Amino acid sequence: MRASFQTLLFRGAVAGACIAVPWSAQAQPAGMPAMRSQGAVQYVCGGIGSDESTAMRAAMKDHPLALLFARAGGEYLANVDVTVQDAKGGTALSMRASGPVCLIDLPAGRYTVQATSEGTTKSEAVTVGSGPKTADFRF
């Protein structure tokens, strides 16, 4: 009787592991930095290195808002200060982008995104909620 209980316990553990591995892989795609939270907003920035850049760009379709940062000549930028304000002027997100691509999960609505790099501030109005939106900032 004891052997069959151990066998069942082992089979259950194996089955649970098989189910848990695909779920955790879907929760955080390979090559992606970890998501961060600020209030109700979740975001991730990265894209440094070809593997991370490929993973970030592939994930753009899964997030309401993607931000891209580059110089006018096309070279990617990091360390960009970003503020996302809601329609009432409240700050939904304030952060420093650690890479040229940021994926942001915001509630549906209208926002103004301000990005500052090397003393220059650019602003773009975006509406989130009807499919993925990309805002491209060139400095």
**pLDDT, tens only, 33-82:** 999 999 999 999 999 999 999 999 999 999 999 999 999 999 999 999 99
Residue 125 — very low, low, confident or very high, per pLDDT cuts 50/70/90?
very high
Measured CA to CA, the distance from residue 111 to residue 91 in angstroms comes to 9
> Residues 97-111: what's their mean pLDDT?
97
Instruction: Specify the fold of 31-138.
Output: Immunoglobulin-like (2.60.40)
The edge-to-edge listing of strands for the beta sheet with 41-46 is 36-38, 41-46, 101-105, 65-70, 133-138
pTM over 0.85: no
Q: How far apart are CA 112 and CA 116, in angstroms?
A: 13
